[in-house]
Structure 1
Amino acid sequence: MALLKKIPLESGIEVSYHRVASVCSITNVVCRIEISSYASRAKRHEEKIALASVGKAADHDVFIETEFIDVPYDQSITVSTAYEYVKTLPKYKGAIDALEDEGAGLA
């Protein structure tokens, strides 16, 4: 799964494809959600292909903006519940759900 929403960064670059890259729980302390944002769905697809090709990981040019969001500890947090939480944040409000494997032809 991923989220689609155009978000301009302070640098002037616009990212439009956002995915939960990881969810980490520090027991009884905090949960940390890592969001990776890409210029487009096509760039994420390009990254996936490069990473799947042994020795080709350096052969791609993909800008990734990474954000870490700390939330209160919840032992039942999952990637799905992390997405639901992220969609409640003002920055991602109105984002559209997208499956990562829907193809690279869309922004």
Structure 2
Amino acid sequence: MALTKKIQSSMGLEIPEAYIKIDSLSGNKNMLQINVKTYVSQTAAQEDRVPVEDSYKSFTPSVEDEAANFIKQGYEYLKTLPEYAGAIDVLE
């Protein structure tokens, strides 16, 4: 899974279909830290190109029986943040 969205990078580059991917996560049931990488396209990510953005975000995951896995929760959390509002799921 990943997200796609039109963004403007911190360097001022407008990217019409940025590909936003959780690269890794670490933590425990109290706090998860996710490494979020943004690429100019899905192809760029698949070719292991350098991301245009690389950031870390933290959230408290749900550990309820019916809760989604931590990666899915990470993407749902990202969509609550202003910089990722309106992002569209990319199912792989």
TM-score range, shorter-chain basis? 0.7 to 0.9
In the alignment, which residue of structure 1 is the partner of 2:58?
A: 70
CA contact (8 A) 2:59 2:77 kept: no
In the alignment, which residue of structure 1 is the partner of 2:13?
A: 13
Query: Partner amino acid for 1:97?
Result: D
RMSD (CA atoms): 1.9
Task: Name the CA distance, whole Å, in 2 between partners of 1:79 and 1:26.
Answer: 13
Instruction: Name which structure has the greater RCO, CA cutoff 8 Å, separation 6+.
Output: 1
Q: Within 5 A, what are the aligned runs for 1:19-30?
A: 19-26=21-28, 28=30, 30=31
Structure (1 or 2) with the greater strand fraction: 2
CA contact (8 A) 1:14 1:39 kept: no
CA contact (8 A) 1:24 1:33 kept: yes
CA contact (8 A) 1:25 1:75 kept: no
CA contact (8 A) 1:35 1:66 kept: yes
Which structure has the bigger radius of gyration? 1
2:20 matches 1:4: no
Cα deviation code 1:75-98 (max 9, x no counterpart): 736101111111111111111100
Unaligned runs of 5+ in 2: 64-68
Structure 1 residue 42, shift from structure 2 partner: 1.3
Identity of aligned residues (%): 36
Structure (1 or 2) with the greater helix fraction: 1
In the alignment, which residue of structure 2 is the partner of 1:92?
A: 84
Query: Partner amino acid for 2:10?
Result: E
Task: Name the CA distance, whole Å, in 2 between partners of 1:8 and 1:27.
Answer: 33
* Paired positions, count: 84
In the alignment, which residue of structure 2 is the partner of 1:104?
A: none
Alpha carbons of 1:42 and 1:71: their partners in 2 closer, same or farther (altered >3 Å)?
same
Alpha carbons of 1:27 and 1:94: their partners in 2 closer, same or farther (altered >3 Å)?
closer
TM-score of the pair, normalised by structure 2: 0.77
